[in-house]
Structure 1
Amino acid sequence: MERYFRDEFIGYNLTASQRELVTQLEEFLINDSEHVFILKGYAATGKELILKGLENYLRKIERGMSLATPTNKTAFWLEQSVDSHVSTIHSMIYEYMETKDAEDGQPREASKFIYKLRGNLDSMDHVYVIGESGLLNDEISDCKYLCYGTGKLLEDLMNFIDPNATGCRRKVIFIGDDTQMAPATSALSALRPSYFKAMYGDAFPVRIFQLTDVVDKQLKNLILKNAVHIRHAIEKDRHNRLVFERNTSTMIELDKSQFLRTYLKAYQAVEDNKPIIVASMNQTAKLYNAQIREQLFPSKTSVQPGDWIMFTKNVWIGEYRGFNGEFAKVLSVKGSENKYINFAGRSRELRFRYVDIEITNRYGEKERLSCKLFENLLDASGSVLPDDEWLEPLINTLYYPVVYAQYGYAITVHKAQGGVWKTVFFDTEFYQNIKTKAGFKWLYTGLSLAKNRLYFTNWTDMGSKLLETMSSLSNTSSSNTKNGIWSQGSSMGINAKATLSSIAIPEIEGSTAYLEYVKEVSEELSIVLNQLNIQIVKINNMYFRIRYTFKRGNSYASLDALYKQKQIITSVENHRNQGDDENLANEIKNVMDRLIE
């Protein structure tokens, strides 16, 4: 009996874009002239369901499939949510070739391990699925100690698949979320049709699909719902308005005094699946780690039994390969060794600790390992500072193997990217301007780390001051608002925003430019003016100017809100139509001035 990919979803209520994706993947899999499919799937769009269906389908038709990701860390996390083994792209396509010893008289250079592109023994109809593809770029990788192929991972992957080979029907499906941050070493992911056409010619077909429809039931999770809000803002190039929806179970706001206290309680409540703090900068993570350790191990500055660490470099510990981003628990500290290194007029003290650690392997089993920990880095960022880069080859030559790690209670969003935790504590203070595309992508990535619960701090809702300062307006407004929206304090900015969809405003006349923005501003204004029994009776969208006509009883007023291309209100003017009530106009202007950003 002939099997179809679409049959894997019988009984599922797919979204329109999921149904279209199933159709396109089915066509792609049987079209021998196509080899590359780029699937972009946002948070809450249900790409995981499609991936599981693809696994089941290929297994049933006995067509080979390999699932891989760009890093060990992302391979580990993805394997937790799928039924198949997940490898790294490196382990899938490279094999060890030789060791190149350091040259005499060049102590800065350590030995290099050379890996070449392996021969592809997979069938000619094999399917390769590359998860977390947004982290994949094609910049030449650092070749200090480990040298892989040409150094360009995506190019080597495509050469391994070899779509131009005679009789090749192999497929590669790249799955990623381009709303997340680009790789830390690059401003741009390599997953663009233009890249493949540059490699294989303009006629090379690249199928690309954007999974956009949100799965309704996933929006019951406020973390995902807020991530969708951020994604919509990025799509509209609107980085100056964002209001988080909160509750007391999933998306929980904490002040600074509560943040660490709540984290410590959550950390100590579980043996496995420890919560994580994520922040913008290494310095912030370092401070959190120090504060947490002071509570867990008062007056103890060195590593202690019970400490939680994260590897910051791949390392072999006996027969076990630890990977960058893997977490471990320190079971015992058995001794220490201090060494002094002098080189080119510089001197450093190196502190090593002999410890036993516990890791959870990819099969969910706990293993006890003995290793030598480079303690200098534990309370730093886990990496040698630029001024001390000369140390690394000497350490690796003289003291190999050494575990590079940092304390794992708090890390940066960049280091956490690709992972998933049941509980995340998110410090949303961004090291640059948060009201940018980069800032919103960073926020989106941070939210995407949490599966069940997200605590956040250092957050201020973005938008006009209108909703943010309603409590102060209550002091100057008329008495009929005493029991209304303003009397409930500044937190009403959230509740008011949540009810915008129920606000009726007149049809917007004039230009259709920036229509969504004009509608949003008008709804926000309407919800406040309704408390003063003032109605918006006419809206005219002009060239970067919104002209409003207002009514209360038999009195009218007309005012203009001027805005820029960046969709921010810059000023409010009284239009002064004949017969307008000047007192009403002034009252409304006092409200509208809070739209100015």
Structure 2
Amino acid sequence: MTIINTFINYSLTDGQKELLIKLNEFLVDYTFCFILKGYAGTGKTFMMKGLTDYLKSVNRPFVLSAPTGRAAKIISQKTKSKAYTIHKTIYSNEDIKEYKIDNDNGTEIIKFYYNIKNNKDQANTVYLIDEASMLSDMYSEGEFFRFGSGFLLKDLIKYINFDNNDHNKKKVIFIGDNAQLPPVNMNFSPALNEQYLLEKYQVSVCCYELTEVVRQQNNSGILHNATKIRNSLKNNILNQI
């Protein structure tokens, strides 16, 4: 059975059909990372629902995650699968360390450090990261807390641990729309940038973008105009002011 069989009763766009072929190849080849980009309404979530159904049918373990609690809740409802925030997935609540920092005024600040979990997932686990455009790789820490190295994408890659990847079966799929606002203090979304992942983390990457809007709201004026603006920007067609 292949992932294509999961969609046999659905009418798919040409782009969705091509995506299935690429996903099917990705799940068995030596590539570590897959980036699925797509406009709003192109069926990214629909395709992910089919992918999770397929993984369940072949008993292949997967972890579904997103940068925020709201995003995790939505993708969980859409796929009918458990989903968690990336922080809950990769950081340990059982290994919290306390450390002190000297303040400029001579006082001490006490902070708490959450370490990265030991990954006990099976060797052929597939990690599905939804709303990946929000996934930052800039240093960040709270007033009283710091998670891992402070670099979320870096910690996620470290947790997955491609260095210990038996027969290259461990996979990660980043899903998102790179036209959305990038993470704070970044001018692009690193998890949706093939070159960045390759150069920064030396992971092999396959990339595909869905462009045909299929959602019912394709008659919506907002979605119609947003698509026109996106296509104009992509083709470097700008209005004169």
Q: Same fold (TM over 0.5)?
A: yes
CA–CA distance in structure 2, aligned partners of residues 78 and 49 of structure 1: 10
Q: Deviations over 1:268-316 (max 9, x none)?
A: xxxxxxxxxxxxxxxxxxxxxxxxxxxxxxxxxxxxxxxxxxxxxxxxx
What root-mean-square deviation, in Å, do the aligned CA atoms of Structure 1 and Structure 2 show?
A: 2.3
| Distance change (3 Å), C-alpha of 1:174 and 1:109 | farther
Higher relative contact order (CA 8 A, sep 6+): 2
Tell me what 2:183 maps to. 183
For 2:51, the equivalent position in structure 1 comes to 54
Deviation string for 1:426-448 (max 9, x for gaps)? xxxxxxxxxxxxxxxxxxxxxxx
Q: Secondary structure at the match of 2:199?
A: helix
Separation in 2, partners of 1:105, 1:184: 26
Partner in structure 1 of residue 161 of structure 2: 162
Structure 1 portions without partners, runs of 5+:
241-567, 569-596
- Going from structure 1 to structure 2, the CA distance change for 1:216 and 1:145 (only over 3 Å counts) comes to closer
Partner of 2:212: 213
Instruction: Determine the C-alpha separation between the residues in 1 that align with 2:65 and 2:8.
Output: 27
The aligned counterpart of 1:195 is 196
Structure 1 residues 121, 106: closer, same or farther in 2, change over 3 A? Answer: farther
Q: Structure 2 CA distance, aligned partners of 1:77 and 1:185?
A: 26
Deviations, residues 540-595 of structure 1 (Å, cap 9, x unaligned): xxxxxxxxxxxxxxxxxxxxxxxxxxxx3xxxxxxxxxxxxxxxxxxxxxxxxxxx
Q: Report if the CA contact (8 A) 1:143-1:151 is conserved.
A: no
Verify the 8 A CA contact 1:37 1:208 in the aligned structure 2. yes
Range 151-160 or range 219-228, more displaced: 219-228
Partner of 1:5: 3
What's the offset of the Cα at 1:227? Answer: 2.5
Take 2:108 and 2:6, find their aligned partners in 1: how far apart are those partners? 54
Written as runs of structure 1 = structure 2, the 5 A alignment for 1:200-349 is: 200-201=201-202, 204-215=203-214, 217-240=216-239
Q: Could you tell me which runs of 5 or more consecutive residues in structure 2 were left unpaired when the two chains were aligned.
A: none
Superimposed CA distance per residue, residues 441-500 of structure 1 (whole angstroms, 9 cap, x where no aligned partner): xxxxxxxxxxxxxxxxxxxxxxxxxxxxxxxxxxxxxxxxxxxxxxxxxxxxxxxxxxxx
1:135 shift after superposition: 0.8
Which one has the largest radius of gyration? 1
| Structure 1 residue 34 displacement after superposition | 1.2
Provide the residue aligned with 2:174 in structure 1. Answer: 174
Task: Report if the CA contact (8 A) 1:69-1:89 is conserved.
Answer: yes
- Which secondary structure does the structure 2 equivalent of 1:156 belong to? helix
Amino acid at match of 2:16: Q
Q: TM-score, normalised by structure 1?
A: 0.38
Q: State how far apart, in whole Å, the 2-side matches of 1:160 and 1:215 are.
A: 35
Q: Is residue 2:89 matched to residue 1:92?
A: yes
The Cα offsets for residues 234-291 of structure 1, whole Å up to 9 and x where unpaired, read as 2123343xxxxxxxxxxxxxxxxxxxxxxxxxxxxxxxxxxxxxxxxxxxxxxxxxxx
Cα contact 2:35–2:207 (8 A) shared by 1: yes
Q: How does 1:492-571 map to 2 (within 5 A)?
A: 568=240
- 1:470 corresponds to: none
Cα pair 2:129 2:173 within 8 Å, conserved: yes
Closer/same/farther in 2, CA of residues 35 and 52 from structure 1, 3 Å limit:
same
Task: Return the letter of the residue paired with 2:9.
Answer: G
Q: 1:133 to 1:105 in 2, by over 3 A?
A: closer
User: 8 Å contact 2:136–2:184 — kept in the other structure?
Assistant: no
Query: Hey, what's the Cα distance between the residues in 2 that align with 1:88 and 1:108?
Result: 34
Show CA shifts across 1:24-57 (max 9, x none). Answer: 00100111x1110011011121112101100100
State the AA in 1 paired with 2:205: V
**Distance in 2 (alpha carbons) for counterparts of 1:188 and 1:107:** 38
Q: In the alignment, what sits opposite 1:66?
A: 63
* Alpha-carbon contact 1:94-1:149 (below 8 Å) kept: yes
Whole-Å Cα distance in 2 between the matches of residues 104 and 161 of structure 1? 35
- Helix, strand or coil at the partner of 1:81: helix
After TM superposition, give the deviation of residue 166 of structure 1 in Å.
4.7
Matched, 1:34 2:31: yes
Between the aligned partners of 1:105 and 1:220, the Cα distance in structure 2 is 57
Q: Cα offset for 1:200?
A: 4.5
- In the aligned structure 2, how far is the partner of 1:237 from the partner of 1:105? 49
- Whichever structure has more helix as a proportion of its residues is 2
* Worse-superposed segment, 99-108 or 36-45: 99-108
Per-residue CA distance 1:473-528 (angstroms, 9 max, x = gap): xxxxxxxxxxxxxxxxxxxxxxxxxxxxxxxxxxxxxxxxxxxxxxxxxxxxxxxx
Q: 1:15·1:214 contact (CA, 8 Å) conserved in 2?
A: no
Preserved contact between residue 43 and residue 227 of structure 1 (Cα < 8 Å): no
What amino acid is aligned across from residue 11 of structure 1 in structure 2? N
Tell me the residue number matched to 1:359.
none
For the 8 Å contact 1:163–1:169, the answer to whether it is kept is no
Q: Which has the higher strand share?
A: 1
1:112 aligns with: 111
Three-state SS of the structure 1 residue aligned to 2:197 is: helix
Which residues of 2 match residues 461-476 of structure 1 at below 5 A?
Answer: none
- 1:499 is matched with none
> How many correspondences in the alignment?
237
Change (3 A) 1:108 1:181: farther
Q: Which residue identity lines up with residue 122 of structure 2 in the other structure?
A: S
Following the alignment from structure 1 to structure 2, what is the Cα–Cα distance between the partners of residues 108 and 151? 23
Q: TM-score by structure 2 length? A: 0.89
Secondary structure, aligned partner of 2:182: coil
Give, in whole Å, the separation in 1 of the partners of 2:19 and 2:213. Answer: 14
Residue 150 of structure 1: CA displacement?
1.2
What do residues 156-188 of structure 1 show as CA deviations (whole Å, max 9, x unaligned)? Answer: 111111112151511100001011111233222
Q: 1:108 to 1:237 in 2, by over 3 A?
A: farther
One-letter amino acid matched to 2:175: I
**Closer, same or farther in 2 for the Cα pair 1:99/1:9, shift >3 Å?**
same
Name the structure 1 match of 2:23: 25
